[in-house]
């Protein structure tokens, strides 16, 4: 099965089992907008809890807030979003399709990387154990040629985008002979800038309604509350403010399911530090956030850092954590050193003094900021795409979602072996106790095998089967999703077993101890 086929199956699976639906589907949907179903919302809430507790609870110098989506319009002038939150767009005149010009070039660059990897794989096969990969990469003529073209295109793209030179972006697309994926032609319009913010009106028109924006990032709600939180919480630098909330962007090129949406959720943390100490903290948060990802156990090779070559004008360092999705390595999280840009600009635009008096140095200054920013929906996609597995068994096959147990929507399913003889009542009694602490479900329909498969398909880590022996000795069978192994345990042990297997404690330990 190709990665593309796998991804299509995953999207269909998400709908069939109640994880994710297209928005307003009975009206044929709304492009790049999705609804979370009964299981999707549980997964999403668990991801949010994992992030919140790893950031706010495990770090005694981080607190959380929940700022409003609507903000004073001047906020977005100060942040630079009104003037510069743009995507460079280009249209193909034949297909009438619109593309992000930088994405067309990035896709071309990714294709060159693929070509290089193919050459390396071929040579590895040819030379076997004696293959010296670094030497081959350095000396092979074909690879050197592709690499030079690739690096030159990348450098030209960075230069053109940094300078805002849209004509140079178009020339690059022409020079690389990039064709429209739909029409196959090179008949391109000029490149134009398009602002991504959604506008709406506040107040009635007769009152003189003003234009406001749906926030394109949650971070500004943190910046404008810096003084409120610092003073009311008596916070001492270094300290952080965390927030989870919706953000909105009028993405033109919406694709890859919930990877790029118009309405999405972010989990952001701004960490305020002394000027000059930002690089130390940048490295600290890079490492902490990577540990948060890796603790989920999808494998070291699934993640990589991608340092930005083109830095935003306010940043002095930036990196992405990329995950190996079925459509390749893509950004899940950004970590940015944003200098004092945001606080200084809000001070300028609001006319308020936004500074911190440092009791240790006796000085007042505008703090520098390290930001960690991750999309909830991209995390949902990461978990689902890494978890989805079609497994061949001895005489059977199954689809199993190997969702890390602490994030699984349902922690345990309680299943009476048959629908009679007092087994359903006993199962219900078990649920009535477990439900105070865990999301557990009850299922009595179909054979036990079918019920196991249904629970595998939604990622339930544990199935608890109540049988006739249970009535006699108050024991049940626990079946583990990944190994399919079964064990007999006493009912009064269930709580401790589920807590150990599905709690977040193990993940938190890995983040903190490494
Ligand atoms: N405050 C910084 C900021 O917003 P960003 O790189 O634009 O930085 C941060 O966004 C994260 O938000 C991304 O790494 C991604 O996970 C998520 N994100 C951004 N745009 C998104 C979209 N259209 N759909 C889903 N997630 C998105």
> pLDDT for 288-335, tens place per residue?
999 999 999 999 999 999 998 778 778 899 999 999 999 999 999 999
Which of 378, 381, 383 for a ligand 1 pocket mutation test, highest count of atoms within 8 Å of Cβ?
A: 378
Best CA proximity match to 100, nearest among 260, 217, 258, 248: 260
Which of 80, 266, 332 for a ligand 1 pocket mutation test, highest count of atoms within 8 Å of Cβ?
A: 266
pLDDT for residue 4: 86
Q: How far is the CA of 375 from the centre of ligand 1 (A)?
A: 6
pLDDT for residue 206: 55
Dihedral of the alpha carbons of 417, 421, 427, 429, in degrees to the nearest 10 = -170
Q: Atom 21 (ligand 1): residue with closest C-alpha?
A: 260
Atom of ligand 1 nearest to the CA of 249: 23
pLDDT for residue 367: 98
pLDDT for residue 396: 87
pLDDT in tens, 2-56: 888 899 999 999 999 999 999 999 999 999 999 999 999 999 999 999 999 999 9
Beta strand 199-202 pairing with 210-213: antiparallel
Which of 373, 374, 376, 379 for a ligand 1 pocket mutation test, highest count of atoms within 8 Å of Cβ?
A: 373
112 in contact with ligand 1, CB cutoff 6 A: no
Q: What is the 3-state secondary structure (H, E, C) of 15-57?
A: HHCCCEEECCHHHCCCCCCEEECCCHHHHHHHHHHHHHHHHHH
Q: Provide the 10 A C-beta neighbour count for residue 432.
A: 10
Intervals of the chain under pLDDT 50: none
pLDDT for residue 382: 97
Q: Atom 26 (ligand 1): residue with closest C-alpha?
A: 375
């Amino acid at each position: 099965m190709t990665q593309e086929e796998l991804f299509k199956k995953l999207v269909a699976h998400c709908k069939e089992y109640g994880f994710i639906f297209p928005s307003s589907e009975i009206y044929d949907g709304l492009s790049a907008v999705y609804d979370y179903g009964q299981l999707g919302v549980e997964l999403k809430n668990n991801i949010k809890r994992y992030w919140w507790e790893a950031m706010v609870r495990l770090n005694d110098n981080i607190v959380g807030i929940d700022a409003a989506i609507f903000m004073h319009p001047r906020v977005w002038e100060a942040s630079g979003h009104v003037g510069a939150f743009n995507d460079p767009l280009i249209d193909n005149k034949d297909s009438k399709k619109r593309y992000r010009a930088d994405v067309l070039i990035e896709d071309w660059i990714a294709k060159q990387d693929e070509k290089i990897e193919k050459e390396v794989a071929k040579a590895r096969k040819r030379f076997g154990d004696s293959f010296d990969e670094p030497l081959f990469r350095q000396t092979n003529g074909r690879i050197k040629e592709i690499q030079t073209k690739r690096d030159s295109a990348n450098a030209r793209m960075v230069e053109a985008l940094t300078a805002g030179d849209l004509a140079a972006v178009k020339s690059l697309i022409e020079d690389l002979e990039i064709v429209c994926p739909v029409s196959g032609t090179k008949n391109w319009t000029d490149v134009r800038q398009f602002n991504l913010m959604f506008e709406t009106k506040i107040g009635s028109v007769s009152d003189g309604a003003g234009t406001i924006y749906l926030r394109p990032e949650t971070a500004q709600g943190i910046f404008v509350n810096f003084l409120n939180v610092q003073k009311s919480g008596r916070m001492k630098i270094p300290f952080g403010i965390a927030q989870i909330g919706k953000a909105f962007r009028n993405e033109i090129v919406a694709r890859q399911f919930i990877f790029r949406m118009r309405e999405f959720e972010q989990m952001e943390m701004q960490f305020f530090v002394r000027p000059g100490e930002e690089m130390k903290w940048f490295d600290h948060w890079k490492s902490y956030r990577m540990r948060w990802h890796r603790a989920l156990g999808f494998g070291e090779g699934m993640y990589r850092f991608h340092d930005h070559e083109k830095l935003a004008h306010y940043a002095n360092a930036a990196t992405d954590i990329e995950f190996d999705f079925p459509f390749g390595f893509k950004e899940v999280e950004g970590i940015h050193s944003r200098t004092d840009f945001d606080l200084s600009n809000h001070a300028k635009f609001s006319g308020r003094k936004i500074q911190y008096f440092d009791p240790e140095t006796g000085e007042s200054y505008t703090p520098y900021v390290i930001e960690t920013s991750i999309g909830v929906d991209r995390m949902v996609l990461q978990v689902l795409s890494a978890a989805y597995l079609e497994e061949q068994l001895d005489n059977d096959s199954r689809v199993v979602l190997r969702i890390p147990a602490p994030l699984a929507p349902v922690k345990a399913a309680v299943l009476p072996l048959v629908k009679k003889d007092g087994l359903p009542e006993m199962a219900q009694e078990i649920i009535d106790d477990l439900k105070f602490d865990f999301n557990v479900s009850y299922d009595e329909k179909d054979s036990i095998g079918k019920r196991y498969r249904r629970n595998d398909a939604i990622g339930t880590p544990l199935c608890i089967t109540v049988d006739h022996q249970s009535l006699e000795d108050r024991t049940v069978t626990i079946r583990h999703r990944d190994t399919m192994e079964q064990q007999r345990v006493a009912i009064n042990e269930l709580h401790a077993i589920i807590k150990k297997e599905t709690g977040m404690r193990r993940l938190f330990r890995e983040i903190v101890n490494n």
